[in-house]
Every structure is written in C-alpha cells, then in structure tokens.
Amino acid sequence: MTTPLRVLVHGGGIGGLTLATALARRGHHVDVAELRERLEALGVGIIQPSNALHVMREIGVLDDCLADGFEWEVLTVCDPAGATLAAIPQPRMGDAPAANGIPRPALARVLADAAAKAGATVRFGTTIASVTDDGEGVDVTLTDGHTGRYDLVVGFDGIGSPLRRHLYGEAYAPEYTGFANWRVTLPRSPEVRGVVMSTGNLKAKALLTPISTDLMYLGSVFAEAEDFRPDPEHAHEQLRERLTGFGGPIAEALAQVTDPASVVYSRISQVTVEQPWHVGRIVLAGDAAHASTPHLAQGAAMAVEDALVLAQSLDAADGVPAALTAWEERRRPRAMWVQALSHAILKQETGTPTTAEEDELLKVGIPGAAHVLVQPY
C-alpha cells in the first residue's frame, strides 16, 4: 500500500524497535509505547544467527551490530571433559555473516538509535490503558495520557503480553517448561572465537558465547522447580554445583564466577497462540505469539523476522487486513517449527522422554536447523 499508515508498536524490545525502524524507513508514522523509563536491556548477551543478521542488514544496522559484537563462523562441540568432538561451520543467509554475539544493552542502543533516525517516536514509561478496534481503525489511550487513532496496533510486548490478554484473556498464559537458564558474563577467553558447546551424558549442556572482543557469557539449562530462585548470596556456588563434572573451557570459565550478583537466572516458558495472531487491526508478534525455548538461539531472530515480514506484507497488500492475513500465513509455520524443535532439543538434552513427532524433528538436529533457517522465508 502506498498511503502512509499510523502504527502503534506496543513494546520497545528487539522486535518492536526492528518493526518501528522498518516501517518508519518506509514512510509510515510510528509510535512505540514502552513501559520502561529508558531502553535499558536486561540480561547478558544474545546470539544473532545469520537469518537475524539478514534482517539487520535490511533495516540498515548490520555494521553497527558487528562493530558492537563478535562475529563468528564455527560452532565447536566438546565432550564434558572439554575435548573437541566437532567444529561445525555455520551457514550464511545471502551475504549476511554466519553469526554474531552481542551484549543485549548494545543491541538495544543500536536499534533505538535506528528507530529514532528513521523517524519513529518512542514514548517511555507508558503502556496501553484502553484500546478499541472499530474495524476501520484502533482508538488507543496510553497511561501517560496520550490518545491516538491508528491503522494498526502491533503487540511486540513480550511473553506476558497485555495485548494478548486483551484479545484472548488467560487462554495463552506462559507455560513453564520445568527448566531454567543460568547465565553469567565473563571476560572472553582468547580461544573462545565462536560458540563452544559442551554436552554429553550429564543431562546438562553448557556453552560459552563470545559477545564482544572483551566479553563472553557462560550459560546452562537445568531442570528447576517452578518456585525455585537462586540464593542471592550463593548463586555462583549453586551454579558451580550444577556444572560439577564439566572440564576444559567450561571449568576454566566457571572458576571466574565469584560474584553471586553476576549470575542471571531466568525460567524458560513457552507461549503458543493457537488462535489467529491478529484480530481486526491488532496483531501479536514475537514472544507475545510464539515464545520458544532458547535451544536454537532463534527467539529474537523469529521476532525480527516477524517485524521485517510484516513491513513487507504491508508493502504488498491493498489494505491492513489483507496484509495481516498474508503475514501470518508466512510466519506461523516457520515460527512453530522453531518452537517445536527447540522444545524437543531441550527434552533430549535433559533426558526427558520425547514423543514420536519430536523424534522426527530431532533427526534435523541443531546443525541441520541452521541450514533450514538460512533459506528464504
């Protein structure tokens, strides 16, 4: 469509800012409602696989991501003792690099700057107070008092999405998988020049991921009770207990973890919105529609793909309803495949029984999935 649209993006995270940039660069009027008072990303680092970097190229920020991160080409797989089992070159999507690790705060800055440069407006410290879709447009009031009428409202508002609750109540509340992620940022070891993944018969996987010239993070997933939280004074010791038995680069990295406050703990939950991701002119995207476990490092990649494909769908369609239908037809099969395989890998790596359907998915494996996901979408 050629007429500029008025779009409200609910959520200023990775997917929301990517969409804001993509749409504003196309001449649309974009407001972003962000609950936080400033774009201060939580967590440690993030992997940008080649399909995510392809999106970054499309919105003009690839060079900035690479400058702030650590580009790499090879996934190294080790046994628990640290002996190398395989060095697997990672595929590329077009001329995008194979992968990049980047600190989350750095990526937030890159995307925020790009959205502002493109002309999007980010309204901090606010969220939706009321939203009414009359079929021709959406009337929105934000909690900061701002009111507006929009052609489209997009919920990039995360796994706890208020817009999802507006559309579907508690039907798709996040479902805890029984597992949690432990991560800690450390000085990068010179030999860690790509992801180093250590796995074996310990019913656990640990990995080291470079996220800048100077930094990497140690991460691992374990089964945890839903109400478990690390002891604030002993979290580093609890992590060390869980990684007993790992040697080599994992043990060397773990020896540097001496501050309990440096340990970042997050429960792994899923969301699968089985009903349409769009109702009228309100659409859910990213984790609001299809949150996955992190085992393919594709959660943020799926969100930025959602954003780019939505912008492309609006380019090609005669109106917003047709664009949303076309967008979901393209996005749902790919995002659901990523979610299903990610969860199957989690179960396999932790010794949890898998279904026959999951066993078929697991034949693809992590290396095979990387090749699938650099195909056009």
Does residue 67 sit in helix, strand or coil?
Answer: helix
Domain membership of residue 21 (yes or no) is: yes
The answer as to whether 285 is a domain residue is yes
Residue 64 placed within a domain: no
Structure tokens at 188: 């990068």
Strands 278-279 and 74-78: unpaired
Model confidence at 23: pLDDT above 80:
yes
CATH of the domain at 114: 3.50.50.60
- Could you give the angle at the alpha carbon of 156 between the alpha carbons of 150 and 161, nearest 5°? 105
pLDDT per residue over 291-326, tens digit each?
Answer: 999 999 999 999 999 999 999 999 999 999 999 999
Confidence (pTM): 0.96
Q: What number of other Cβ atoms are within 10 A of residue 165's Cβ?
A: 16
Q: What is the pLDDT of residues 188-225, one digit of tens each?
A: 999 999 999 998 766 778 999 999 999 999 999 988 99
Residue 110 lies in a domain: yes
The verdict on residue 257 lying in a domain is no
Under DSSP, is residue 319 helix (H, G, I), strand (E, B) or coil? coil
Looking at the predicted structure, is the pLDDT value of residue 372 above 80?
yes
- Comparing CA positions, the residue from 7, 20, 12, 18 lying closest to residue 37 is 12
Surface-to-core class of residue 253, CB atoms within 10 Å of its CB (0-12 exposed, 13-18 middle, 19+ buried): buried
Amino acid letter, residue 164: R
Give the residue numbers spanning the domain of 368: 6-46+105-173+270-372
Q: How many domains does the chain have?
A: 1
Residue 152 covered by a domain: yes
Residue 219 has which token pair?
């991460």
44 pLDDT exceeds 90? no
In three-state secondary structure terms, 92 is coil
Two tokens at 296? 């393919």
Tokens of 11: 């959520």
Is 78 domain-assigned? no
335 in any annotated domain: yes
